Homo-oligomer: A and B are copies of this chain.
């Protein structure tokens, strides 16, 4: 009852604040106001203050937020205060990109192993880790206590991969495959479906209103023949 669960929209913004703070600290900025954070992030200052206030009073009235202090707090809120070990399943181009990126650019995450079922890819080195056959994943998951898994396999094998890793203890999946995964209660799935993103972007890339007006017109025109088209 003391903390009722924080909304997803708030949680999605925290890593963005974190990234901005990392940049500011690199530039040796020590204090930042919600106004300035707003400029950097595109969110309103009010929203930023409100988001942070869910977790505590991290700022100083009259001056702003200490960047190092706030960064530390956000890291603890998200749970990034110790490096998170992950595995990547699917060693194609996407899996390779994800592995490389996290190993070299993401200090909060470590990739312990990469798996694939394609014999051609097994043994391949990515940055400094070797691609292992998927059968080895249960062993690695248990050995390292892996809770977070990235799935970058084709759509038709994503569900079986998910079943396998969840069975051995994975609690959170970042799913790049274009399918809806079924997982037991208590397991979290985030979908990073790039096709969906791209298609919804296409909606906005051309004159929205014009297209919808045309559509409405078509519907009206086909009204008489409706029973035809529509059964």
Contact = CB atoms under 8 A, between A and B. Distances in A.
Interface in A60-112: 60, 63, 66, 69, 73, 76-80, 84, 86, 92-94, 96-98, 100-102, 105-106, 108-109
Given A79-B205, A192-B192, 4 more contacts: A73-B215, A174-B198, A188-B205, A190-B201
A127 B218 CA distance: 38
A199 B15 contact: yes
So how many copies of this chain end up in the complex? 2
A224 interface: no
Interface of A: 2-3, 5-6, 11-12, 14-16, 18-19, 40-42, 55-57, 60, 63, 66, 69, 73, 76-80, 84, 86, 92-94, 96-98, 100-102, 105-106, 108-109, 147-148, 150, 171-174, 178, 180, 188, 190, 192, 194-206, 208-209, 211-216, 218-219, 229-231
A contact face: mostly helix, strand, loop, or mixed: helix
A42 B197 contact: no
B199 A80 contact: yes
